[in-house]
Amino acid sequence: MKMLRWLFVAFTLFLGAIYAIAQTTSATLTGAVSDPNGAAIPGASVVAENLQTHVRISAVTNSAGFYRVLGLLPGYYRLTVAKAGFKSVVRDGIELHGQDEVAINF
């Protein structure tokens, strides 16, 4: 009987751990970067800076001009896009909550 009780407790803890792992508190920023004519800009640097902690997470646009910045904690962000030969663009005051996936195009 004690063994059955121990197995039940272990199984319950295992399920709780799986549930906790499945929950995410991070957010994602996605989008596309294009020039004034609408052509994709590959290789552009995209930096998301948390305005409270000043932690920066970077990404680079792919060949189609798309970017994805993962693992952002909830908070307010500044998003900066830069590439040589183009004017840098900054977007401030982006509010993110856990599990948000926000698309911002430039």
What is d(CA 79, CA 31) in angstroms, rounded to the nearest whole number?
A: 11
Average model confidence (pLDDT) across the chain = 87
- Report the largest interatomic distance among the alpha carbons of the chain, rounded to a whole angstrom: 73
**For the segment 20-67, what is each residue's pLDDT rounded down to a tens digit?**
555 568 999 999 999 999 999 999 999 999 999 999 999 999 999 999
Question: The whole model's pTM is what?
Answer: 0.74
Listing DSSP states for 4-72 in one string gives HHHHHHHHHHHHHHHHHHH----EEEEEE-B-TTS-B-TT-EEEEEETTT--EEEEE--TTSEEEEEEE
Residues 6+ apart with CB under 8 A from 52: 75, 76
pLDDT of amino acid 2 = 63
| Burial classification of residue 86, based on how many CB atoms lie within 10 Å of its CB (0-12 exposed, 13-18 middle, 19 or more buried) | middle
